[in-house]
Amino acid sequence: MDDVTLIKEKINIVDLISEYLPLKKAGINFKTSCPFHNEKTASFVVSPERQIWHCFGCQKGGDSFTFLMEKEGMEFKEALEFLAKKAGVILQRKGESGKGKDAKDRLYEVNLKAQEFYHYILTKHKLGKAALEYLKKRGVSNESIEKFGIGYAPNSWESLTKFLVKRGFKHSEIIESGLGVASKTSCYDRFRGRITFPLIDGKDNLRGFSGRVLQTAEPKYINSPQTPIFDKSTFLFGINLAKAEIRAKKEVVLVEGEMDAILSHQAGFKNAVASKGTALTEGQIELIKKYADSIKLCFDMDLAGDSASRRGIEIADKAGLNIKVIQIEGGKDAAEVVLEDPKIWEKAISEAVPIYDYYLASIAKRYDTKNPVDLKKIGEELIPIWAKITDDLIRERYNQKLAAFLRSDEKVIRDAVEKARKPISGDYAQVFKKAALSDNVVGGRTRRELLEEYLIALLLHPPLDFTFAAYHPETLFLKESFRQIYVMLFLYLDTISFKSRAFNINELASNLPKELVSEVDRLYLTQLDSKLQDAKFWQKEFESVVSELKRALIKASLERLSLEIKNAQEFGKIEVVESLNKRFRDLSVKLKNF
């Protein structure tokens, strides 16, 4: 057991926080006013069961260590030493925890050996010839192949595994590194018939790989799974080569894929890194903050229309980053533009627009301000975004811009934004009951988002005599993390129901990916109506929320179809218009009869 785990076992978070704040019992938890922001209603919750704290007002939260770091301004090392002394734990000296350290070192070693193998196959072996030709065709130079350590995984089941075993690595190490997938007898290669990109962090540690198919196949890219040394949510491709330039310019260019980053570097834009997916995570933003105070985004999709991307941008804004969007005409990606003409890419980077101007421009393309229905949609989309702008002066500036764009009174916009900024009470049931206000904005979040939270919160608080809840597709949720939580939560509930066991939040959390635990903890600490302890009432509420979310899905589909019909009409595609109109009518009837 490591020092941190041992200390957490010995320190009771309720006792620790009670030394600083007066805690009052609230059900199975404790409550008090938050010490980190001014509030009239207590929203700071401490859970003895989970040994965590969370404030529903300012959204800060964590464990005993993070509380001391926030309250006393300690660094983690100081908090560790303080709590170790309090718990009577003698800290292990560096290097003393032999086995754990050796195990991680072995994972780095197996990755390095795999990298040698992949790179050799690409550059020196006939099996890599087609892959090498593909890279040349895409414009990747020999220098870039060497610089980024690009390789090729042969299209065979065991070539890498056999190579590694011969060099003294165990099958268990190959599996734990993510290079192999467990089979009945041993394991087989994860990456097969793919160009490989080593995933190297800012300290030059090779943590994993990304693999791109050579032929047309799905998925186009696969990555190493989460391992003891790799977490995709905290990683940026190319950071090892870009960090010096990013630090010098105080600016990072964030592109979508490996090829975008590689060709940008090749053309001299050496502050480019790839996010390996459009939605920015908190871990990636923390990494960027170490080197830059400005971020320029270049993704293939419309960021304004993607809820996951918007959440990432909100986190970046909260972190104090200056955010701009690089716009490329013609639907091309960064790699294509760089190959066509590096000067076009240079111009696009220099003319990047502030993120909130980008949102306004996106709205102007998608909606008609003279149409009352579109006007309502603009408010539903932009008011929550404006509400989350952290800087008062910037928020006021964009209140004025939005008012001018809509030809509306500034006070109306300002009042709507300020209303949306008020923290929610956490009473999801009240939000749910306001069905007439189907898409109203509450606390900077749409009613749809709150209903998704409410559904997860319900599943995290099953009644004592809970036996069964009907499974519905995870596509009910727009938020990807909620989809993942929902699937894993349902599997867990199904298991305990079958085995007649009680719900145990710690048991559930121990089987969740690390990046989902804080979201689950926040929703678990939510106080629900006491009536929900009754199984019949809980079941009825559950089905009602599901029904509302299904209605929201149909409405979203109708909105998309409306845009598709409009585009098809503009291009004179009569047959397509007729087909889309039929689908629109069918969905409208379905919504009416829901």
Task: Look at residue 551 and tell me whether its pLDDT is greater than 90.
Answer: no
Q: What pLDDT sits at residue 439?
A: 43
**Residue position matching structure tokens 């209605």:** 551
Task: Look at residue 424 and tell me whether its pLDDT is greater than 60.
Answer: no
Other Cβ atoms within 10 Å of 302 Cβ, number: 12
Backbone φ and ψ for 198, nearest 5 degrees, come out as: -70, 135
Q: Say which residue, 567 or 34, is predicted with more confidence.
A: 34
Yes or no: say if 591 and 554 are a contact pair by the CB < 8 Å rule.
yes
Q: What pLDDT sits at residue 122?
A: 97
Task: Look at residue 468 and tell me whether its pLDDT is greater than 90.
Answer: no
Q: Which of 226, 189, 224, 228 is nearest to 210 (CA)?
A: 224
| Rounded mean pLDDT, 185-191 | 93
Task: Look at residue 102 and tell me whether its pLDDT is greater than 80.
Answer: no
- Among 125-134, 334-343, 444-453, whose mean pLDDT is lowest? 444-453
- What is d(CA 563, CA 3) in angstroms, rounded to the nearest whole number? 56
Q: Reading across the β-sheet that carries 206-213, which strands appear in turn? A: 151-153, 194-200, 206-213, 221-223
**Share of residues in the chain with pLDDT > 90 (%):** 49
Yes or no: say if 188 and 158 are a contact pair by the CB < 8 Å rule.
yes
Task: Look at residue 441 and tell me whether its pLDDT is greater than 50.
Answer: no
**Share of residues in the chain with pLDDT > 70 (%):** 91
Residue 254's pLDDT band (cuts 50, 70, 90): very high
CA atoms within 13 A on the CB side of 285: 20
3-state secondary structure of 230: strand
Task: Look at residue 90 and tell me whether its pLDDT is greater than 90.
Answer: no
Task: Look at residue 121 and tell me whether its pLDDT is greater than 90.
Answer: yes
| Rounded mean pLDDT, 139-146 | 96
Q: What pLDDT sits at residue 569?
A: 79
Residue 63's pLDDT band (cuts 50, 70, 90): very high
Q: Which of 356, 366, 364 is nearest to 405 (CA)?
A: 364
For residue range 492-517, list pLDDT tens digits in order.
888 888 778 888 999 999 888 887 89
- What is d(CA 236, CA 283) in angstroms, rounded to the nearest whole number? 10
Residue 440's pLDDT band (cuts 50, 70, 90): very low
| Rounded mean pLDDT, 102-122 | 94
Q: What pLDDT sits at residue 469?
A: 66
Task: Look at residue 437 and tell me whether its pLDDT is greater than 50.
Answer: no
What type of residue is 237? F
- What is d(CA 102, CA 84) in angstroms, rounded to the nearest whole number? 24
Task: Look at residue 192 and tell me whether its pLDDT is greater than 90.
Answer: yes
Q: Which of 376, 384, 392 is nearest to 421 (CA)?
A: 384
3-state secondary structure of 213: strand
DSSP letters for 20-83: TS--EEETTEEEE--TTS--SS--EEEETTTTEEEETTT--EE-HHHHHHHHS---HHHHHHHH
For residue range 391-423, list pLDDT tens digits in order.
999 999 999 999 999 988 999 999 999 988 876
| Average pLDDT value for the chain | 87
Compute the Cα dihedral for 287, 291, 295, 298 and give only its sign: negative
Task: Look at residue 150 and tell me whether its pLDDT is greater than 90.
Answer: yes
- Among 294-298, 467-471, 547-551, whose mean pLDDT is lowest? 467-471
Q: What pLDDT sits at residue 308?
A: 63
Q: What pLDDT sits at residue 323?
A: 94
- Among 31-45, 199-213, 461-475, whose mean pLDDT is lowest? 461-475
DSSP letters for 324-373: EE---GGG--HHHHHHH-HHHHHHHHHTPEEHHHHHHHHHHHH--TTSHH
* pTM of the complete model: 0.66
- Among 239-253, 262-276, 439-453, whose mean pLDDT is lowest? 439-453
Yes or no: say if 457 and 526 are a contact pair by the CB < 8 Å rule.
yes
| Rounded mean pLDDT, 36-60 | 89
Residue 184's pLDDT band (cuts 50, 70, 90): confident
Quote the DSSP letter at residue 284: H
CA atoms within 13 A on the CB side of 514: 12
Q: Reading across the β-sheet that carries 272-274, which strands appear in turn? A: 272-274, 251-255, 294-298, 322-325, 353-354
Tell how strand 194-200 and strand 61-62 pair up. Answer: unpaired
- Among 107-111, 236-240, 487-491, 575-579, whose mean pLDDT is lowest? 575-579
Task: Look at residue 576 and tell me whether its pLDDT is greater than 50.
Answer: yes
